[in-house]
């Protein structure tokens, strides 16, 4: 891809597939090996920018950066870090809408590697299975901690919950600010991006309305 084309795509945040594009050898190296390699690469970037890595304030940065990437910001790339999502039998026979709202969302845009910060709101109509509500927060956190495109993040959470809960009746809304929009480029501090994905009964506007009305309260 030519640089001009890359710049165009960068600001449009295209997403082509629901799967995060991973190399086949993505998890052959250990985290420790990755941290060591990224530390070296990032030191080179800092040097290229003209920074003096012998300065005591900067000397630890390449290691801190590498560890933060592998263990924190992008821990959600590795399937071994996926939260265990145990479900329970829907013993109470509750078949109305369940909503988990204002789930804190911290992610990174894959085109600029800058933060995406906001909230996710999730609703579902239980069939035979229910899930502990905090598990939904953990699942959001897991998928958010990869280089992401907001629409894909939404779809990944939706798909996972539909499979887990054994129902298509799930809705996922993400409302987030992209630092690549607020701190660079157009530098718009006030705009946010809303993405909505749903299936099953949420295709019906009545259910979506009930969901959005409950969110406002
Ligand atoms: Zn971006």
User: What rounded mean pLDDT belongs to the chain?
Assistant: 93
Summarize the confidence of residues 167-171 as an average pLDDT. Answer: 98
C-alpha 24 – ligand 1 centre gap (Å): 25
Q: Where are the beta strands (DSSP E) in the chain?
A: 87-89, 98-109, 115-124, 129-131, 147-148, 170-178, 193-198
C-alpha 149 – ligand 1 centre gap (Å): 8
pLDDT, one tens digit per residue, over 33-42 is: 999 999 999 9
Q: In what order do the strands lie in the sheet with 170-178?
A: 147-148, 98-109, 115-124, 170-178, 193-198
Domains and CATH numbers, the chain: 28-77 (1.10.286.10), 87-216 (3.30.1130.10)
pLDDT, one tens digit per residue, over 46-101 is: 999 999 999 999 999 999 999 999 999 999 999 999 999 989 999 988 999 999 99
Say whether pLDDT at 9 is over 80: no
C-alpha 194 – ligand 1 centre gap (Å): 15
Residues with active-site annotation: 109-112, 150, 178, 180
Question: Taking the model in full, what pTM does it have?
Answer: 0.91
Say whether pLDDT at 29 is over 60: yes
Binding residues for Zn(2+): 109, 112, 180
Say whether pLDDT at 4 is over 90: no
């Amino acid at each position: 891809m030519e640089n001009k084309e890359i710049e165009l795509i960068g600001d449009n945040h295209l997403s082509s597939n629901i799967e995060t594009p991973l190399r086949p050898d993505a998890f052959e190296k250990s985290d420790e090996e990755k941290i060591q390699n990224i530390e070296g690469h990032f030191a080179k970037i800092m040097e290229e920018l003209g920074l003096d890595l012998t300065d005591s304030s900067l000397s630890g940065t390449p290691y801190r950066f590498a560890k933060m990437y592998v263990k924190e910001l992008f821990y959600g790339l590795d399937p071994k870090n996926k939260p265990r999502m145990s479900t329970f039998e829907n013993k109470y026979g509750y078949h109305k809408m369940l909503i988990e709202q204002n789930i804190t969302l911290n992610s990174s845009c894959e085109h600029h590697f800058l933060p995406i910060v906001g909230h996710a709101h999730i609703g579902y109509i239980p069939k035979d299975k229910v899930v502990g509500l905090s598990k939904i927060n953990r699942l959001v956190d897991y998928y958010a901690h990869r280089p992401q495109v907001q629409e894909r993040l939404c779809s990944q959470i939706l798909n996972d919950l539909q499979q887990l809960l054994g129902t298509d009746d799930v809705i996922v809304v993400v409302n987030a600010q992209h630092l690549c929009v607020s701190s660079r480029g157009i530098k718009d501090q006030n705009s946010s991006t809303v993405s909505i994905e749903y299936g099953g009964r949420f295709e019906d506007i009545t259910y979506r309305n009930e969901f959005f009305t409950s969110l406002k309260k």
